[in-house]
């Protein structure tokens, strides 16, 4: 039996998560927040486990999806309180480096540390704190059994990047660059909840000029592979193939 009976899936964008929601038959889940928070929640059963999906939702002023670190951290923290999951998984898209073996549509599992690349605090005692070093579950062996590559995920608050960001991304040893994982890792670290991420590549940061154009062009392909890999990963977990903490 799986050590993980309640699994919380966190995603930033509705478009990233819709195919998985449909393919696993997620239905709306009851929420009981005192506040009018935008997070939208769904649940389903898979192989005897309870799956909760929690999306960051939309900004009521602009109508856009709540991408980014702050909303991902708040959504996760609130959902951990509501559902007490045994495991949190963030699934989504990311930019990545061809030099590190990435291709558009290739799906990676995270390594056991999460980083920020634009939290620069060059003061004694604050540098590593700014960089994150937030703990993640070591899923290396599990990834190997599923023939999936792993890579370090570095998070920031921008879709594009500056030269300084790039320097920090490299210093973090990252293969993947996105906008939520380290925020989610922070909520999981605070609450002692095991966490890892599944990231599908939308654009090759070292090969293309505009992340935004590539993101839009490759999004459907990336979501297709994200959906099938996330399903495979979840099915393996509920079969008990991911060892407990």
Residues of this chain that interact with ligand SAH (CB under 6 A) are: 12-13, 64-65, 67, 92-95, 159, 177-180, 202-203, 205, 211, 215
Decide whether 150 or 202 has the Cβ nearer to ligand SAH. 202
Nearest distance from C-beta of residue 199 to ligand SAH, angstroms? 8
Dist CA 241 CA 217 (whole Å): 35
Minimum gap (Å) between residue 201 Cβ and ligand SAH = 8
Closest CA to 142 of 79, 75, 89: 89
76-107 residues labelled b (16+ CB within 10 A) or e (exposed): bbbbbebbebbbbbbbbbbbbbeebebebbbb
Shortest spacing between CB 11 and ligand SAH, in angstroms:
8
Residue nearest to ligand SAH as judged by C-beta position: 95
Q: Give whichever of 188 and 238 is closer to ligand SAH, judged by the CB atom.
A: 188
Measured from the CB atom, is 2 or 155 closer to ligand SAH? 155
The nearer residue to ligand SAH, 175 or 211, going by C-beta atoms, is 211
- At closest approach, how far in Å is the CB of 161 from ligand SAH? 7
| Burial label, 157 (beta-carbon count in 10 A; 0-12, 13-18, 19+) | middle
Integer Cα distance of 59 and 3 in angstroms: 36
Tokens encoding 220: 């459907």
Closest distance between ligand SAH and the C-beta of residue 180, in Å? 5
Cβ proximity to ligand SAH, 2 vs 218, nearer residue? 218
The least CB distance from residue 47 to ligand SAH, in Å, is: 28
Which segments within the chain are labelled E, that is strand? Answer: 6-11, 27-28, 40-46, 49-55, 87-96, 107-116, 134-135, 150-155, 174-178, 195-204
Q: Which residue lies nearer to ligand SAH by CB, 144 or 162? A: 162
Two tokens, residue 127: 């540098």
User: How far is the C-alpha of 13 from the C-alpha of 161, rounded, in Å?
Assistant: 20
């Amino acid at each position: 039996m799986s050590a993980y009976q309640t699994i919380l899936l966190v995603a930033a964008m509705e478009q990233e998560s819709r195919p998985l929601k449909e393919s696993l038959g997620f239905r709306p889940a009851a929420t009981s927040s005192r506040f009018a928070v935008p997070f939208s929640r769904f649940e389903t059963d898979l192989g005897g486990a309870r799956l909760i999906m929690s999306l960051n939702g939309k900004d009521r002023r602009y109508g856009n999806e709540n991408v980014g670190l702050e909303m991902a951290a708040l959504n996760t923290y609130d959902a951990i309180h509501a559902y007490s999951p045994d495991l949190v998984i963030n699934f989504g898209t990311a930019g990545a480096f061809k030099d590190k073996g990435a291709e558009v549509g290739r799906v990676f599992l995270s390594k056991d540390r999460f980083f920020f690349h634009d939290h620069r605090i060059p003061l004694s005692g604050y540098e590593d704190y700014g960089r994150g070093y937030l703990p993640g579950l070591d899923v290396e062996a599990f990834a190997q059994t599923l023939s999936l590559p792993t890579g370090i995920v570095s998070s920031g608050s921008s879709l594009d990047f500056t030269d300084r960001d790039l320097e920090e991304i490299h210093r973090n040893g990252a293969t993947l660059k996105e906008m939520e994982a380290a925020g989610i890792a922070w909520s999981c670290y605070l609450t002692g909840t095991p966490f890892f991420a599944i990231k599908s590549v939308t654009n090759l940061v070292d090969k293309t000029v505009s992340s935004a154009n590539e993101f839009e062009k490759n999004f459907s392909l990336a979501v297709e592979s994200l959906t099938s890999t996330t399903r495979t990963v979840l099915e393996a977990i509920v079969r008990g193939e991911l060892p407990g903490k």
